[in-house]
Structure 1
């Protein structure tokens, strides 16, 4: 039995999701396309809507969210065969327990039933995330130089894809 529970969040979980998301953005600002300042200014309804438009899996330990992984549909009329992975993060105090892998495994099992492929982007400097994604069957198909910018400078992003049913390496 895992030392944590994994479940899909719903709109009733918006406050807990908001707290976790803001803590993640604050603790690892270079790993996200958004920022703590931008999202902390958003009302709770913003996070409720996020949980309605995406599937977000959360790992809970002792009732508290300690990790998340989101999957959103592409909305273009010719892109509905694709999903987009976002917001994969595990709190530092519980890393190394297989939480990120467990979240991604659940997410991909769902994605394989609903999409032909899933995409994501990760900062080129985020080696642990890149390793996790590659072990889950994602392949790098491109690099966007200077994709993200903040007061510390630029970050390149690697673009990754995984086709449905691709077993992990």
Structure 2
């Protein structure tokens, strides 16, 4: 039996779809205000749907002692006029694994993956999620906009902060 490293960040594969499904549903259930999708919508999907998502997307996972404890997605924009932009999406770290710098490691993995592919990475974050706002700021993202009432959950509106990191500014 091979030794399992205590912490590993890697891109998920289709064989990780069941693990991804579990953590994604947990994220949607625990923090419904933070995501555009809903627990009800994704819980109704078969495992093959999650396999397809993992197969076509760049989703990074943080594995702690072999367990998937954090995720972050990356997508490049479509079309020649927007192909210079990437998107960080679906970020979530399980409660028991927070305060271990896994969020920073996941964002760093997405940014490393984006380098050479796009010129900037954008994201949106619910304004009330101050910990995530601080994390993204510490990773070099800057606010460029604010969307009032961006999401509506159970009759309550949530504003989103729009953030960007210009990757060419990292080159010195």
Shift of 1:95: 0.6
Matches within 5 A, 1:64-103: 64-103=67-106
Supply the RMSD in Å over aligned alpha carbons: 1.4
- Residue of structure 2 in register with 1:141 after alignment: 144
Confirm whether residue 34 of structure 1 aligns to residue 37 of structure 2.
Answer: yes
Deviation at 1:165, TM superposition (A): 4.0
2:94 paired with 1:52: no
Contact 1:118-1:162 within 8 A present in 2 as well = yes
Cα shift at 1:114: 1.1
The separation in 1 between residues aligned to 2:65 and 2:32, in whole angstroms, is 26
CA distance in 2, matches of 1:163, 1:51: 26
Q: Secondary structure at the match of 1:97?
A: coil
Are positions 1:61 and 2:64 aligned together? yes
Matching residue within 102, 108, 112 for 2:111 = 108
Contact 2:59 2:72 in 1 (8 A): yes
Structure 1, unaligned runs of 5 or more = none
Establish whether residue 20 from structure 1 lines up as the match of residue 23 from structure 2: yes
- Equivalent pair of 1:56/1:70 in contact (CA under 8 Å): yes
Q: How many residues align?
A: 166
TM-score relative to the length of structure 1:
0.92
Q: Give me the whole-angstrom Cα distance separating, in 2, the residues matched to 1:97 and 1:122.
A: 20
Shift of 1:136: 0.8
SS of the residue 1:57 aligns to: strand
Which residue pairs with 1:119 in the alignment?
Answer: 122
